Structure 1
Amino acid sequence: MRRWNGWVWTCAAVAMLAGCGGGGDDTGNSGFIPPNDDFNVAQAWHNLLTTNRGWTLTGSGTDGRIYDITVGTAVGPTTVFPVTGANTARSDVTLTTATTGFPTASALQQIHFDAATDRIVGIRTSVNQAAATCDLATSTSALPTTVKVGTSGAQATLTELNGCAGSSAAVGTITITWSLEFEAGTTYFCSNTTERNPGGAVLSAEGDCLQMSPDGTLGARARVTVEQNGVRVVAHTP
């Protein structure tokens, strides 16, 4: 995601691949059996947008490289989304990504959202302090408050722009879905992003997942998966 990603955790990693410079235990009966609890994914999303947090992830790519990703989220001020001029709540996401053979990359993403509904209004992103680009939401869906592991659904569709002005041209689309997943004893709330060019061809795909408890409390574990240019990277917290 320029990239949305749920939360642009791997925006800088994607740029490299493209050649550009506390919840409780949530296992089921064992680490291999998913819990049968009802999970509040709407609350998990709200908690992500409205709290200050941080994660450090390490993973490997099919290109043979090791990727180290550090992510922080912080509550931003009420501010104007530049594409539309609308006043919005804001969550600021920062990250650094390092891998062998490339300089450390950094990214800042500002998620503009409706404070009453937590629905995305738009996203402003800058990678390596380059000029910012924006993504404008064209449709959004409310996340559910009661779902089981294995459930998924639509979250948002955005138009990818080449700038952050009202006159900026469309250069693609971004589709975001949510899912509730279970892996090795951990239940994850995931935001899954697919980026397409104007012709509809997939350019990148990303899944950003956070450990969550049934009430929506976020935990310390995280998982990121990103695919672009034939390379797949999977990173986890320790």
Structure 2
Amino acid sequence: MPIAACAALLAACGGGGGGGGTPAGGAFPPPVVSPGPVVATVDVAAAWRDYLTVAHSWKMTGKGSDGRAYELAVDMKPGPTSTFAMTGSSGQTIDQSIRFTIDGATNVNNGTLFFTNDTFIGVASTDGACAPARGAMAALPAAASGGQQGELFILEGYAGCRITGQKLGTTTFSWSVQEDAGVNLFCITSKQQNAEGANIGSEVDCIEATAGGTLGNRAKFTVSRADGQSITGRNY
């Protein structure tokens, strides 16, 4: 499931005396600048760990630029230590179920995420495809404020969970911290390319997060297609 939030600065100029004249010395007072909304820091490393190791369920609804109704439901259920068949690497697991509904018609995508305390190993989906991570995952900060972002990892998809299988495409993941409607959010952005390297779309999934990195129940998503169409939904 990852747009930086920008805080606007509002300036107000002070006035002169009752007669509207120029202040003493012929200079107007400097403008008073009020700060934008304060966005608390989020422990990104802890938020990522919470995402991978704690059972969660989020359901979001919204409408697309095509006017149709959409619903995205995500369920996370921690599993046992296991081996990622494509590379033979052993790690912790969490089962992820994604249900995407368009005007009542539902598409289900289930898979298992493999990871260690230090890095992400890959994803194995129930349709027989696998996506190993390319290289080691970047280190995550213990504190990041709104607007900050960074890299996570790159996944390369293959049919049949074999490196000799048909290449399905590449997805680049990154993290960011955002603020929306007073909610501090830990966000995961994924940018997809097909097997030929053409951009085919992106998705930003954001989850409520405390300063300590504990994830909450409020969440939102935005899906953008290469043709310019987009879908946005939330549960708050």
* TM-score band, normalised by shorter chain: 0.7 to 0.9
The answer for the alignment partner of 1:67 in structure 2 is 70
List 4+ stretches of structure 1 deviating above 6 A.
none
Runs of at least 5 residues in structure 2 that lack an aligned partner in the other structure: 3-34
Runs of at least 5 residues in structure 1 that lack an aligned partner in the other structure: 7-31
Contact preservation (8 Å) 1:82, 1:166:
no
The answer for the alignment partner of 2:147 in structure 1 is 150
Alignment partner of 1:113 out of 101, 112, 115: 115
* Farther off after superposition, 195-204 or 132-141: 195-204
SS at match of 1:104: strand
Per the TM alignment, residue 38 of structure 1 is displaced from its structure 2 partner at its CA by 2.9
Alignment partner of 1:193 out of 190, 194, 213: 190
TM value normalised by structure 1: 0.79
Tell me the number of residue pairs that the alignment of Structure 1 and Structure 2 aligns.
202
Q: For residues 55 and 216 of structure 1, what CA distance do their matches in structure 2 show?
A: 17
Per the TM alignment, residue 165 of structure 1 is displaced from its structure 2 partner at its CA by 2.2
* Higher RCO structure, 1 or 2 (CA under 8 Å, sep 6+): 1
Per the TM alignment, residue 37 of structure 1 is displaced from its structure 2 partner at its CA by 3.2
The answer for the alignment partner of 1:159 in structure 2 is 156
Alignment partner of 2:58 out of 45, 55, 69: 55
The answer for the alignment partner of 2:125 in structure 1 is 125
Matches within 5 A, 1:9-88: 33-88=36-91
Q: For residues 187 and 44 of structure 1, what CA distance do their matches in structure 2 show?
A: 12
Per the TM alignment, residue 33 of structure 1 is displaced from its structure 2 partner at its CA by 4.7
Q: Which amino acid aligns with 1:223?
A: K
1:63-93: per-residue Cα shift (whole Å, max 9, x none)? 1111122221110111111111211111111
Per the TM alignment, residue 229 of structure 1 is displaced from its structure 2 partner at its CA by 5.1
Alignment partner of 1:203 out of 194, 200, 203: 200
Q: Does 1:170 align with 2:172?
A: no
Q: Does 1:98 align with 2:65?
A: no
Q: Which amino acid aligns with 1:168?
A: G
Per the TM alignment, residue 233 of structure 1 is displaced from its structure 2 partner at its CA by 0.6
Q: Residues 33, 218 of structure 1: CA spacing in aligned structure 2 closer, same or farther, 3 A cutoff?
A: farther
TM value normalised by structure 2: 0.80
Q: For residues 152 and 103 of structure 1, what CA distance do their matches in structure 2 show?
A: 34
Q: CA RMSD in A?
A: 1.8
Q: Which amino acid aligns with 1:171?
A: L
SS at match of 1:48: helix
SS at match of 1:150: coil
Q: Does 1:221 align with 2:218?
A: yes
Q: For residues 145 and 166 of structure 1, what CA distance do their matches in structure 2 show?
A: 35
